[in-house]
Structure 1
Amino acid sequence: MDQGTQLLVILVVLLVLFLLAVIVFVLFSVFMKRKNALLREQIEAEKRYERAIAETQIEIREETLRNISWELHDNIGQLLTLAKIKAQNVEGGDEMLEVAETIGTGLQELRALSRAINPEALNGQSLIRSLEVEVARFNRLKYLTADYELLGDPVPLDPKAEIVLFRIVQEFITNTMKHSKASSLKISVHFKVDALEVTAVDNGVGFESEKLADKGIGLSNIDKRAELIRASAKINSIPGAGTRLVLIYPLE
């Protein structure tokens, strides 16, 4: 075999190897694209499943709150009303009048609490108004000093998003009341150009943020609730320096 033939054979072999490499590369690229597509579909399916579970949990919780609200309003409310009437009819002077007034105050607060946890009452009430009512209720109870401020120009929000945002803040407030030993709470609603920012801050005992999942008080579920409305939620806390919740809801 002469030198020209050898060179031709080498070129053919190199060309074949090059074509094989190209084919392998193309097949590998197609395989990786399909693999990545399947992974993305799997991730999206998992997110949809988690979203559906979270929505179901919230619906169950809202239904439970609705039932509790009805029980408070219909049953316990009627008992307190009857007790107030009886106290007013008993001859006991100023002492019985004070008892009747105390029962009446308790009845008013019970009705306010019933409205605060009833999803149907919240449906016709904006986030701003719901937070105003909640802050006013806590100030009446004198557990702590609650302040509320509204910044920016309010814009209409999706009703479902408003309920979720309110429930998140309400959960934070409940935790403050039960565990923080705080003397003050401040809630700020700030309508920015592209987002709504809701901030709640207490001056309580605080806790280590890394142990949030171990609190067992609902705070660990805040992220899941926020994800349902494409919002972000961040809780920062330092032992002895209080706790802060920052909710950011994008405005379309």
Structure 2
Amino acid sequence: MESEESQIVLYITTIVIILFVVLIVLLFSFFQKRKNVLLQEQENNKKRFEREIAETQIEIREETLRNISWELHDNIGQLLTLAKIQLQNTSTENIKEVSDTITKSLNEVRALSKLINPEAIKNIQLKEAIQLEINRFNRLNFIKSTLVVKGKEVAIDKKASIIMFRILQEFFSNTIKHSKASELTVVLNFKEELMIISASDNGIGFSSSEDSPKGIGLLNIVNRAKLIGATAKLSSEINKGTTLLIEYKL
């Protein structure tokens, strides 16, 4: 009797052990597959991020080249034409005017050379890049523009800077082309663990029920912000202007 009971206990114990081993194997297999899926997702996300960075750099370069083309035609071309006219009518009295015009042309060319340098786009510094855009808007009288920096500046990841600058570039472009604004203000606010970027204009704005947010690439802006762990929000009121708010964890 005891022998039978021992056999039953041994039998049950053996089954339990086998089931336990099978369960461990299944769990290990499940977690291994899950791990492989996560690793593949990470790899895919990494490739998507690198592809987005490369595409963004190309977009920045294309936008920059378009801006340079306009500036060469509308600004530097006019300055050089003016210098030519002044030289044709030169006299002792207007030598200084000619010199000033040529000096201004050279300064404009130097400013453009900073924008066209491909290394500057690869190693973009957010504050400096924004300041160059602000300076250009003011220099060409596109819109009265201001950059304000608050708090203690900290270094920002270069790839994140590229994404944020492209987001701002899209906002700037739409402000100048469509908003009919006379003023543009950009604020970089460095807090302890957070950087808040605010870009706002005093243009015609739009209502939240309109399709305008889609027209200025809101979805693209939001998705790009997500790539670097940031959030982007666009708000607007008719006849009061539009504001873009970006929050980025430092």
Report the TM-score, using the length of structure 1 for normalisation. 0.68
CA contact (8 A) 1:209 1:236 kept: no
User: Residue in 2 aligned with 1:97?
Assistant: none
Describe how 1:1-252 pairs up with structure 2 within 5 A.
2=1, 4-65=2-63, 67-68=65-66, 71=69, 79-88=77-86, 114=112, 117-120=115-118, 122=120, 126-139=125-138, 144-158=143-157, 161-204=160-203, 205-206=205-206, 208=208, 214-215=214-215, 217-223=216-222, 225-226=224-225, 230-238=228-236, 240=238, 242-251=241-250
- Secondary structure of the residue aligned to 1:235 is strand
Offset from partner CA, 1:109-165 (integer Å, 9 cap, x none): 976984685355956985334434433443565555544322112234455554543
Letter in 2 for 1:44: Q
Identity %: 25
**Structure 2 stretches lacking a partner, 5+ long:** 90-97
Rounded Cα–Cα distance in structure 2 between residues aligned with 1:129 and 1:209: 36
Residue 50 (structure 1) shift: 0.8
Residue 222 (structure 1) shift: 3.1
Shift of the 23–156 alpha-carbon distance from structure 1 to 2, 3 Å rule, reads closer
Rounded Cα–Cα distance in structure 2 between residues aligned with 1:147 and 1:70: 21
Rounded Cα–Cα distance in structure 1 between residues aligned with 2:62 and 2:167: 16
Offset from partner CA, 1:218-252 (integer Å, 9 cap, x none): 44333454466x3513123245364332333443x
CA contact (8 A) 2:206 2:212 kept: no
Shift of the 244–71 alpha-carbon distance from structure 1 to 2, 3 Å rule, reads closer
CA contact (8 A) 1:233 1:248 kept: yes
Rounded Cα–Cα distance in structure 1 between residues aligned with 2:134 and 2:71: 21
Shift of the 117–164 alpha-carbon distance from structure 1 to 2, 3 Å rule, reads farther
- Secondary structure of the residue aligned to 2:192 is coil
Rounded Cα–Cα distance in structure 1 between residues aligned with 2:49 and 2:25: 36
Letter in 2 for 1:237: S
Letter in 2 for 1:206: F
Report the TM-score, using the length of structure 2 for normalisation. 0.69
Letter in 1 for 2:230: S
Shift of the 147–218 alpha-carbon distance from structure 1 to 2, 3 Å rule, reads same
- Secondary structure of the residue aligned to 1:167 is helix
Shift of the 150–81 alpha-carbon distance from structure 1 to 2, 3 Å rule, reads closer
Rounded Cα–Cα distance in structure 2 between residues aligned with 1:133 and 1:140: 10
Residue 176 (structure 1) shift: 1.9
- Secondary structure of the residue aligned to 2:14 is helix
User: Residue in 2 aligned with 1:94?
Assistant: none
Root-mean-square deviation (CA), in Å? 4.3
How many residue pairs match? The answer is 236
